[in-house]
Amino acid sequence: MHLTNADLHSHSNVSDGTLLPEEIAARAHANGVELWSLTDHDEVGGQRRARDAALALGMAYLTGTEVSVTFANETVHIIGLGFDADDAALNAGLAATRSGRLDRAHRMADGLALAGIQGAFEGALKYVTNPDLISRTHFGRFLVETGVCGDTYEVFRRYLTEGKPGYVPHRWAGLGDAVRWITGAGGIAVVAHPARYRFTPTEEYALFTEFIAHGGRGVEVVTGSHSAPEQIRYAETAAEFELLASRGSDFHSPAESRTDLGSLPDLPGRLTPVWQALQHRIQRPG
């Protein structure tokens, strides 16, 4: 049986990826992706370009975004798929979520300066395409460029995670708000890369039960952020909570990303793919 090569998690330079939406579309298509979504952080500004590029290549498209949420004092990412990208409440919610990023970036640079790294704000800004969306990834690129660290993984470990000099605690959107912005715009909300969160079993249970109570319906099972055992574990979570399963590389950059577009294992056959519930929202080439 042929399973759809769906890649429903990727980033362009409209957030913290390095390629244009059109370049990601071309790379996804060249890698055999049949159904693609561009899911820039807290932003839908690249959606029209992504869709136009996908359809021109003969590739089906679902609108996407990855919303930053704070839950139990941890940052959780919620993917939205198949929504109306012009929806006013969704756009207002995402704008509010983006609004704290500039001030946070200044404070990150202040922390790095105290650790002896000067000029990090200006340095990170050189990598930013969308001035509304300065992220830790842009600081990471600056710290690699200047030779402070060998790669972005080392940057996060030494400088940009909790307790490290460039880390600034931040309150993102509420879980219920993010889910409602997505579902209110006709889309499906999906918990992104659940293995990445440092939750106790009780907190993780609370995340899924509250997410579902707010109307969330999916979980990423196969992602570039999950090891093989983690995929098995979250396949069980999807079955236990009767969630739709998603699959996405989380591709950011040819130089930085370990998992390329479209190159993931298939979803386990017993799960229902999230795109099955989004057939009416998929935009197909004419």
The DSSP-derived string for 173-221 is B-HHHHHHHHHHTT-EEEE--GGGS---HHHHHHHHHHHHHTT--EEEE
Least distance (Å) between residue 170 CB and ligand AMP:
7
254 touches ligand AMP (CB under 6 A): no
Is residue 263 exposed (0-12), middle (13-18) or buried (19+ Cβ within 10 Å)? middle
Contact flags string 60-79 toward ligand AMP, x per CB under 6 A? --------x-----------
Q: Which is nearer to Mn ion, 111 or 224 (CB)?
A: 224
- Which structure tokens are listed for 135? 């992220």
Contact flags string 154-193 toward Mn ion, x per CB under 5 A? --------------------------------------x-
Residues contacting residue 150 through CB under 8 Å, at least 6 positions apart: 144
Handedness of CA 272, 275, 281, 283 (dihedral sign): negative
C-alpha 141 chain-centroid distance: 18
* Residue listed under structure tokens 């290549």: 57
153 touches ligand AMP (CB under 6 A): yes
* Euclidean distance between CA atoms 217 and 203, whole angstroms: 18
Which one of ligand AMP, Mn ion, none is in contact with 40 (Cβ closer than 5 to 8 A by kind)? Answer: none
Q: Which is nearer to Mn ion, 35 or 69 (CB)?
A: 69
Q: Which of 27, 51, 77, 101 binds Mn ion (CB under 5 A)?
A: 77
* Euclidean distance between CA atoms 98 and 154, whole angstroms: 26
250 touches Mn ion (CB under 5 A): yes
CA distances from 68 to 3, 42, 180, 215 (A): 30, 7, 14, 17
9 touches ligand AMP (CB under 6 A): no
7 touches Mn ion (CB under 5 A): no
* Euclidean distance between CA atoms 21 and 38, whole angstroms: 8
213 touches ligand AMP (CB under 6 A): no
Considering CB under 6 A, how many residues would be counted as binding ligand AMP? 10
Least distance (Å) between residue 192 CB and Mn ion:
5
CB under 5 A: which stretch of 48-56, 72-80, 99-107, 156-164 binds Mn ion?
A: 72-80
130 touches ligand AMP (CB under 6 A): no
141 touches Mn ion (CB under 5 A): no
Binding region for Mn ion (CB under 5 A): 16, 66, 77, 192, 250
Binding region for ligand AMP (CB under 6 A): 16, 41, 68, 135-137, 152-153, 156, 252
